[in-house]
Structure 1
Amino acid sequence: MITTTSDKLYQQYTNTMRKIADIRYSSALLQWDQETYLPPKGAIIRGQQIATLSELAHEHFTADSLGALLQELNGRDDLTATEKKNVALTWEDYSKQKKFTPAFVRELTETVNRCFHSWLEARKANSFSLFAGELSKLIVLKRQEAQLLGYRQHPYDALLNEYDKGSNVQLLDGVFNTIRQPLKDILNKIQSRPQVSNAFLYRHYPKDQQWAFGMQVLKDLGYDLEAGRQDVSEHPFTINFNSRDVRVTTRIDENDLGNMVWSCIHETGHALYEQGLPDEAYGLPLGEAASLTIHESQSRLWENHVGRSRAFCAHYFPLLQQYFPEQLKDVTTEAFYQGINQVTPSLIRTEADEVTYHFHVMIRYELEKRLLENTLQTNDIPAWWNDHYEQYLGVQVPDDKCGCLQDVHWSHGSFGYFPTYSLGSFYAAQFYAKASQAIPGLESQVQKGDTAALLEWLRKGVHRHGRQFTSEELSREVSGEVLDIQHFLRYMLDKYQDIYKF
């Protein structure tokens, strides 16, 4: 076998990328520890450690030597299609990161770390004012980031594009303007009908039994516990260090069963995606998720289309009764199904039903737009938030913890992430509709607790491609068409007309 110059250059590129990945994932491991087991007094030094690794990874990734190597590889015509795609995507990432100085990266990382810990303290004290100072500094840096990345129309576009390539304010305004009224119409019809009861969810469910049930569901859905683990955190999340080490967290409220069960299923959807990415592409773009929108499509598909389905309840409710015989002895499977799909405007996004959920996302989207364009100041967030919760959902926010302090995203610097939740939900409906056509008897399989065929379909259609496609390109690969919101609206109408009889 003859080794060509391109072979050697590509191997050099691969080795470099994997070393950078080693640094980045070491930093991610410290972040995981920070949100699970870190002693409070370790927070300051932990921030320094993460900042050092982030700065080091940035320096390696933006080195002139890597840029020269990428340019040389881009000029060669004897690379495989996979190799060309990896190099092209890395060049795109390199060009973006080259716009940031190491000093900016360090300042941003350190500010995010301080912001996260101030958010934790603010939540404990139920006081946004304790978070406002650090958040203000972070927002200034995010505005700077948008300027450095560049944009054509709106500064928010630069940050949106980091989570979903091609996403922008014009596109999202169009999507939300299209979906807003149909969702309001569905909500109004539901509110005109007798309400279904979910009171059984708020009985006392001991922590240990909840944990045991959640672990069983994780395993049943295909989450590989030899390539992952679950822990408890303030806000449920999924984090990966490679496809063979993908970790999830949940949170448990002994007086709210739904808090744990569907956060487990949601995070399992994320984790299954990460565990399905190709091992051999570790450190390379094709070993990463297509976008955060597609990531959310996976979590929302498992959480809602599977986890809140009548078929899922048929299998898991009798099992849940074995864990909680006293709490659920007077509840039928149908009452359980209807109760877990109750639609009612509420304060907390992560606990929101499938109809009102998107109003939560719209509120955050509109707020972030204003923060980035500097037409809303940090101290104005609580009042603006409270006004829009009353306007969009008709609920009054009692305090900051149930209001603008409920999400972890801003403390992570994740401005531009929230729209992926709605877009991901819309893609999920489209993908699941296609899966139902492609897999004979899918519903009956789910009813038996067997989701292996669905997971395999997603592995082949979504997971294995990595970043080969943008969200819209992948949608065409999976479903034969770009995003069509009508799939989501049909799913909503079919489900809730059946439950609420309107």
Structure 2
Amino acid sequence: MNKYSDYLDYCKKIHDINMSIAVLNWDLETKMPKNGHKFRAQQISTLRKISHELSTNKSYGDLLNKLKNNNALDFDQLRNIDVSLKKYNKTLKYDANFIEKESNLISEAFVKWRLAKEKNDFSIFEKSLEQLIQLRIKECEILGYKNHPYDALLDQYEPDLTTHEVDKIFKEIKDFLIPFIKKISNAKEIDDSFFYQHYNQKKQWDFGIDLLKGMDYDFNSGRQDLSAHPFSTHFSNEDARVTTRIDENNLSEMIWSCVHEGGHALYEQGLLSKNYGLPLGESISLGIHESQSRLWENNVGRSMEYWKYNYNKLKKYFEKQLINVSVNDFYKACNKVKPSLIRTNADELTYHLHILIRYEIEKGLIESSIKVQDLPKIWNKKYQEYLGITVPSDSMGVLQDIHWSHGSFGYFPTYTIGSLYAAQFFTQALYENEKLYDEISTGNNNNLLKWLREKIHKHGKKYSAQDLCLKVTGEKLNFNFFKKYAINKYTSMYDL
């Protein structure tokens, strides 16, 4: 191999295998029968070993090193090579035994987590979690880090972000949100009781499909299914899938999972087909990915303008339940701020305290200052400290998230990072199109999606997250955009 065309063919071969693993994982969480676990774990492990062998092949590395200084290549081509070489050098640090062990541990941990949650017993998951954490600690040493071992994990989800920078972000979060939320809690409480009636599952599903279509989600290049934990996945820009969760006694769960996961899928559908299998055909980071879901969920989906159009459609499905509820009442209920138990059901302000708790726990686990056996106690204490919430059970507490069963440590901070990017991007979109909210109020989201496609989606990994933010908004990530958005919205809503 000595040509850029050889690089293209090789990258796509690796990507095909990785996307096959993604299909198996999607099936595992949506359609796979209960007894399929044993051989599914084996299948995924086999494919991951093949992928690793291809990704660490010496001839591939030689090709990347040869092409990195090829002056005949253009900017996009050199960027592909640069990102691929960085990934190659990182992947080279892992041996096949680590990859196989990781795959088997994750497959087993997911089954244990699901059972522990079902039985409300953390001890069922404890051993698997301990093994995963020890594996991640070892991984930090394999990858190397400058100041804190958690840096190595963060870098996998949000490249170049450090623990020190995340600490600074969460200090800003705490300094602003804790007193602001307390101020809101002293105001008159918003009534959202109408969300907690009986809402037929099939009708909720149909309305969720309507919401996705209204976002211009392409069902010819995607689908929606049910899962215990809502997620999105993709196998190409022409196959980006979402899942939702429906609670017949809580309408809001379905609404926000559909809009949130739809935002993720729109990003994947907006990547360019010509870049399939290449860095420029992949999302930049989880923070940027989360910005797309949070922008649709919070900046669009929780706006009055969004419900001016969609509320009448919702009432056609549930006229009896919403007969005495005005669109203004509904809008306020969508934005009610109140500390709650479950992260995925949290409002857009207290949500970041949920993330803070997970971040502090993960740091402690990776630096070995927190023991796995103490997790339920520490989790419950932090929920009382930051949110004033008493956790009633393991299932609704330390077991509520799927992430740790996937071995995803370093992931949670990207949720908050994404919300900050979302506020900054949406502010810029409004600046460039003053009629944007007017368009949203008529159900026209086309210009917003075009803006996101042009400014963010189509670039893939062409730029780093911070460089993209600078290119789109004129400055790097700035917490003040989120702070201003929150103050303007909630000061008015709660008459503060």
TM-score by length of structure 1 reads 0.98
User: Which secondary structure does the structure 1 equivalent of 2:3 belong to?
Assistant: helix
Aligned to 1:30: 24
Letter in 1 for 2:371: Q
Letter in 2 for 1:232: L
TM-superposed CA distance for 1:185, in Å, is: 1.8
TM-superposed CA distance for 1:77, in Å, is: 1.5
Aligned to 1:134: 128
Aligned to 2:392: 398
Superposed CA deviations along residues 399-449 of structure 1, whole A, max 9, x for unmatched, are 011101111110111100100000100110010000001113111100001
User: Which secondary structure does the structure 2 equivalent of 1:396 belong to?
Assistant: coil
Letter in 2 for 1:392: Y
Q: Does 1:443 align with 2:429?
A: no
TM-superposed CA distance for 1:66, in Å, is: 0.3
Q: Match for 2:366 among 368, 372, 375?
A: 372
Aligned to 2:295: 301
Q: Match for 1:168 among 156, 162, 169?
A: 162
User: Which secondary structure does the structure 1 equivalent of 2:234 belong to?
Assistant: strand
Aligned positions of 1:58-97 closer than 5 A: 58-97=52-91
Aligned positions of 1:341-490 closer than 5 A: 341-490=335-484
Tell me the number of residue pairs that the alignment of Structure 1 and Structure 2 aligns: 496
Aligned to 2:224: 230
Q: Match for 1:310 among 271, 294, 304?
A: 304
Provide the C-alpha distance between the structure 2 equivalents of 1:301 and 1:59, rounded to a whole number of angstroms: 38
Aligned to 2:214: 220
User: Which secondary structure does the structure 1 equivalent of 2:223 belong to?
Assistant: strand
Superposed CA deviations along residues 58-91 of structure 1, whole A, max 9, x for unmatched, are 1001000101111111132111111111001100
Provide the C-alpha distance between the structure 2 equivalents of 1:108 and 1:94, rounded to a whole number of angstroms: 18
Aligned to 1:266: 260
Letter in 2 for 1:260: M
Aligned to 1:192: 186
The worse-fitting range, judged by mean Cα deviation, of 76-85 and 367-376 is 76-85
Provide the C-alpha distance between the structure 2 equivalents of 1:450 and 1:32, rounded to a whole number of angstroms: 31
Superposed CA deviations along residues 25-72 of structure 1, whole A, max 9, x for unmatched, are 001100000000111111011011001101110100100010111111
Aligned to 1:182: 176
Provide the C-alpha distance between the structure 1 equivalents of 2:413 and 2:463, rounded to a whole number of angstroms: 19
The worse-fitting range, judged by mean Cα deviation, of 184-193 and 354-363 is 184-193
User: Which secondary structure does the structure 2 equivalent of 1:153 belong to?
Assistant: coil
Superposed CA deviations along residues 206-261 of structure 1, whole A, max 9, x for unmatched, are 10000000001101101100000000001000101010001100000000000011
Q: Does 1:205 align with 2:202?
A: no
User: Which secondary structure does the structure 2 equivalent of 1:241 belong to?
Assistant: strand
Aligned to 1:55: 49
Provide the C-alpha distance between the structure 2 equivalents of 1:77 and 1:434, rounded to a whole number of angstroms: 36
Provide the C-alpha distance between the structure 2 equivalents of 1:168 and 1:129, rounded to a whole number of angstroms: 32
Provide the C-alpha distance between the structure 2 equivalents of 1:81 and 1:180, rounded to a whole number of angstroms: 41
User: Which secondary structure does the structure 2 equivalent of 1:247 belong to?
Assistant: strand
Provide the C-alpha distance between the structure 1 equivalents of 2:344 and 2:482, rounded to a whole number of angstroms: 19
Same amino acid, percent of matched pairs: 45
The worse-fitting range, judged by mean Cα deviation, of 416-425 and 74-83 is 74-83
TM-superposed CA distance for 1:340, in Å, is: 1.1
Letter in 2 for 1:401: S
Letter in 1 for 2:144: G
TM-superposed CA distance for 1:123, in Å, is: 1.0
Provide the C-alpha distance between the structure 1 equivalents of 2:210 and 2:461, rounded to a whole number of angstroms: 31
Aligned to 1:292: 286
Superposed CA deviations along residues 267-325 of structure 1, whole A, max 9, x for unmatched, are 00000000001111111111000100000000000000000000011111111000001
Q: Which runs of 5+ in 2 are unaligned?
A: none
User: Which secondary structure does the structure 2 equivalent of 1:414 belong to?
Assistant: coil
Provide the C-alpha distance between the structure 2 equivalents of 1:320 and 1:434, rounded to a whole number of angstroms: 30
Q: Does 1:102 align with 2:130?
A: no
User: Which secondary structure does the structure 1 equivalent of 2:70 belong to?
Assistant: coil
Provide the C-alpha distance between the structure 2 equivalents of 1:182 and 1:417, rounded to a whole number of angstroms: 23
Aligned to 2:315: 321
Aligned positions of 1:108-123 closer than 5 A: 108-123=102-117
Aligned to 2:137: 143
TM-superposed CA distance for 1:479, in Å, is: 0.6
Aligned to 2:239: 245
User: Which secondary structure does the structure 2 equivalent of 1:231 belong to?
Assistant: strand
RMSD: 0.9
Letter in 1 for 2:79: K
User: Which secondary structure does the structure 1 equivalent of 2:235 belong to?
Assistant: strand
Q: Which runs of 4+ in 1 moved over 2 A?
A: none
Provide the C-alpha distance between the structure 2 equivalents of 1:351 and 1:240, rounded to a whole number of angstroms: 24
Q: Match for 1:276 among 267, 270, 274?
A: 270
Letter in 2 for 1:422: T
Q: Which runs of 5+ in 1 are unaligned?
A: none
Q: Match for 1:155 among 146, 149, 160?
A: 149
Provide the C-alpha distance between the structure 1 equivalents of 2:204 and 2:403, rounded to a whole number of angstroms: 26
User: Which secondary structure does the structure 2 equivalent of 1:239 belong to?
Assistant: strand
The worse-fitting range, judged by mean Cα deviation, of 70-79 and 384-393 is 70-79
User: Which secondary structure does the structure 2 equivalent of 1:246 belong to?
Assistant: strand
Q: Does 1:21 align with 2:15?
A: yes
